[in-house]
């Protein structure tokens, strides 16, 4: 595996055996509130954080050489999902993790059951609208969602989780 990060020293080589699920274990370690593993394999995998590959104090000066990653493709808000369109196993797991975060951050607003793509779309639109309103932005529940909406959503989740953890 090749890893690129401004927090990895140039030409670092780790010879410790890892699994492709070590990345997932590392993300769960970094964001401690992701308590649900994706699978038993990532739960049992060694994490990159244990190998010493990352340095929290390092941020390389030659960051301009970092690769440019294209923006993700997000379906337009007008996408019509069938009421019974099933979610892929990965989408189910991602939504389960997001719902867990939401329940921990906003226990007074538990997410509805999310079984279909339509359920996920309705809940995510509600979550984005809630996050925007908590950041002082006026928004309608039927407003369009774009790539920039995910930043305030995760910032609000992180802020709420930090506040609840301090209490």
Q: What percentage of the chain has pLDDT greater than the value 70?
A: 77
Confidence of residue 4 (pLDDT cuts 50, 70, 90): confident
- State how far the Cα of 100 lies from the Cα of 95, in Å rounded to an integer: 8
Contacts with 87 (C-beta within 8 Å, 6 or more apart), sequence order: 95, 114, 115, 116, 117, 120
pLDDT in tens, 122-149: 888 888 888 888 888 776 655 667 777 7
pLDDT in tens, 34-54: 667 777 888 888 887 777 777
Question: Is the distance from CB of 153 to CB of 137 less than 8 angstroms?
Answer: no
For range 83-95, the mean pLDDT? 81
How many C-beta atoms surround the C-beta of residue 41 within 10 A?
A: 14
């Amino acid at each position: 595996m090749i890893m690129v990060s401004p927090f990895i020293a140039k030409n670092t080589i780790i010879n410790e055996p890892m699994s492709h699920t070590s990345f997932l274990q590392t993300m769960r370690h970094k964001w401690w509130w992701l308590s649900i593993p994706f699978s038993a394999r990532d739960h049992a995998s060694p994490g990159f954080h244990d190998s010493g590959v990352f340095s929290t104090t390092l941020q390389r000066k030659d960051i301009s050489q970092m690769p440019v990653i294209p923006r993700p493709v997000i379906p337009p808000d007008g996408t019509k999902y069938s009421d019974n369109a099933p979610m892929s196993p990965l989408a189910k797991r991602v939504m389960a993790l997001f719902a867990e975060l939401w329940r921990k951050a906003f226990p007074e607003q538990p997410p509805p059951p999310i079984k279909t793509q339509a359920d996920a779309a309705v809940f995510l639109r509600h979550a984005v609208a809630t996050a925007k309103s908590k950041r002082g932005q006026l928004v309608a529940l039927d407003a369009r969602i774009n790539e920039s909406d995910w930043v305030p959503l995760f910032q609000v989740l992180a802020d709420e989780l930090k506040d609840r953890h301090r209490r």
